[in-house]
Amino acid sequence: MITFEIRPVPPFRLDLTVWALKRRVTYGVEGWDGTTYRRVLLDGERPFSLSVEQVGTTGDPVLLVQASTDPDRKVVNDREKLATEACAKLLGTQTDLAAFYDIADASPELSPLVDRLRGMKPPRYLSLFEALTNAITCQLITLTVGLRILDRFATRYGMPLPGTVENEGPSRAFPRVQDIELVEADALRDAGYSRQKARALTEIAVLADDGVLNATSYSDLDDDSAVNRLRALHGVGRWTAEYVLLRGLGRLNVFPGDDVGVRRHLERWLDLPDRLDHAGVQQTLAPWAPFAGLIYLHLVVNGIVDSGLVTS
């Protein structure tokens, strides 16, 4: 086991950030016991455990990070690098939100929401495949049910961490494209996927070599072009594509406007008299551009705080 420190860009709160990633108590891919975040990562074909605990304050944050090692000590430096890179994505440790906080501090509407959750960073999934799988799995069903299916998916196809004990934390890495590229759609249906969703995932896995799952291939595309590219995939609509832009590519200006649940949070937060459609969401959030996606994440976690799972 190696232990090292990461100093996130302040302010930073691990608990709020983990909830933006985990969303439900029962989602086992992301482990959280109220103090320590855990996940299984991959070093090539070798799974290893990651654990993160915040030992500094919100304003002067320090993360104590541990990564398991193999008997081959040559992997130590690689594990620290892989763990650091994973924390930058999953926990947004190097994301500077100063410009967002300036806008929020000047806004009577936004300031109370952001003050309540100050230090929450915007998490990203480790790969576009993970982002697409999350979005496709949760289409048109409750988030709780969707995450339950994702857990079964990870249990069946994720690479296991050797020597894990039940209830000790996550035991498998999130499946990669190569873990399911030979899986038949009917096998995914046994995990709880509809025929349409199973077909979507298996076809996306087959198309991986075309670069559609390479995040850097989207770098020169504007949001509309990126959405259109993703929507060319079977089973990917506007909500799924926008969700991937936010949670897979880290485009913090993108609010997935067809997300009915978060849209309701937006309407209640602003005490709007009428229901919003997709265009109405974009218009409503225009005064706080380019941070509509950050507001989306704040509304998600604000609901979790309201539920009593975490204190602000």
Decide if pLDDT at 165 tops 60.
no
Q: What is the pLDDT of residue 141?
A: 93
Give 167 or 220, the one with higher predicted confidence. 220
Task: Enumerate residues 6+ apart whose C-beta is below 8 A from 82.
Answer: 41, 43, 67
Pairing of strands 63-67, 36-43: unpaired
pLDDT at 58: 97
Quote the mean pLDDT of the chain.
93
Residue 72 has pLDDT above 90, yes or no: no
Summarize the confidence of residues 177-206 as an average pLDDT.
Answer: 91
Tens digit of each residue's pLDDT (9 = 90 or more) over 74-129: 666 689 999 999 999 999 999 999 999 999 999 999 999 999 999 999 999 999 99
Nearest CA-CA partner of 169 in 15, 66, 51: 51
Q: Closest Cα to residue 238, out of 290, 190, 186, 277?
A: 277
In the chain, what are the domains? 2-93 (3.30.310.20), 128-247 (1.10.340.30), 260-306 (no CATH)
Band (pLDDT 50/70/90 cuts) for residue 34 is very high
**pLDDT tens digit string along 101-114?**
999 999 999 999 99
- pTM of the predicted structure, to 2 decimals: 0.94
Burial of 275 (0-12, 13-18, 19+ CB in 10 A): exposed
pLDDT beyond 60 at 166: no
Mean pLDDT of 146-174: 86
